[in-house]
């Protein structure tokens, strides 16, 4: 097994990080019946807890906004309320699933979203450049960075003499 040169991978991940869309903290809600398995951003989560407490006043103390830290996910976490991208790790399975999406669809027109998801994919996959998914992830990362650079170049005014 060949290990990916860490400096090379680190550089790609740093460049992806620089253009990636901001994420919000990932929360979930504890209820008297346990956790419902949905993820929420802080504002939607707080609103949802208030709403649940109002509807079940007798057990209002048993509804809490939990989480707020990075945890493992089998698919990229988004807020159930507003669709915001949330802060979390992808499991190895989740990373393989998400790269499959790129394999089928290619990159999107939103480099900042692709960069965010791809960075977590690269973190979630094994550190092995002979792995097909890893090779594809690095190839797509380069494509995103190149597209992003080209798009920004095109928006720059003609340089004055």
Nearer residue to Zn ion within complex by CB, 81 or 101: 81
How many residues bind to Zn ion according to rule CB under 5 A?
6
Contact status, residue 61 vs residue 25, Cβ threshold 8 Å: no
Of 55-63, 74-82, 86-94, 103-111, the segment contacting Zn ion by CB under 5 A is 74-82
Of 79-87, 89-97, 99-107, 110-118, the segment contacting Zn ion by CB under 5 A is 79-87
Nearer residue to Zn ion within complex by CB, 82 or 151: 82
Contact status, residue 29 vs residue 49, Cβ threshold 8 Å: yes
Distance, CA of 114 to CA of 122 (rounded, Å): 12
Distance, CA of 152 to CA of 130 (rounded, Å): 33
Residues 82, 93, 149, 151: which binds Zn ion (CB under 5 A)? 82
Distance, CA of 116 to CA of 72 (rounded, Å): 15
- Residues in contact with 88: Cβ distance below 8 Å, sequence separation at least 6, in sequence order: 26, 39, 70, 71, 72, 73, 76, 77, 120
Residues 4, 23, 26, 44: which binds Zn ion (CB under 5 A)? 44
Q: Is 90 in the site for Zn ion (CB under 5 A)?
A: no
Residues 79, 140, 141, 145: which binds Zn ion (CB under 5 A)? 79
Q: Is 41 in the site for Zn ion (CB under 5 A)?
A: yes
Distance, CA of 30 to CA of 27 (rounded, Å): 10
Residues 19, 68, 81, 136: which binds Zn ion (CB under 5 A)? 81
Contact status, residue 92 vs residue 128, Cβ threshold 8 Å: no
Smallest separation (angstroms) from Zn ion to the CB of 87: 13
Contact residues: Zn ion, CB under 5 A: 41, 44, 79, 81-82, 84
């Amino acid at each position: 097994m060949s290990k990916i040169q860490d400096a090379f991978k680190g550089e790609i991940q740093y460049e992806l990080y620089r253009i990636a869309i901001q994420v919000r903290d990932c929360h979930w809600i504890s209820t008297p019946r346990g956790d419902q398995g949905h993820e929420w951003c802080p504002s939607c989560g707080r609103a949802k807890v208030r709403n649940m407490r109002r509807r079940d006043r007798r057990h209002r103390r048993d509804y809490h906004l939990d989480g707020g830290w990075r945890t493992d996910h089998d698919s990229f976490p988004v807020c159930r309320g507003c669709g915001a991208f949330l802060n979390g790790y992808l499991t190895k399975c989740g990373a393989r699933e998400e790269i499959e999406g790129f394999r089928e669809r290619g990159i999107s027109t939103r480099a900042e979203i692709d960069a965010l998801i791809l960075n977590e994919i690269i973190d979630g996959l094994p550190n092995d450049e002979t792995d097909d998914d890893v090779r594809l992830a690095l190839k797509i990362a380069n494509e995103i960075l190149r597209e992003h650079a080209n798009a920004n170049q095109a928006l720059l005014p003609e340089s004055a003499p």
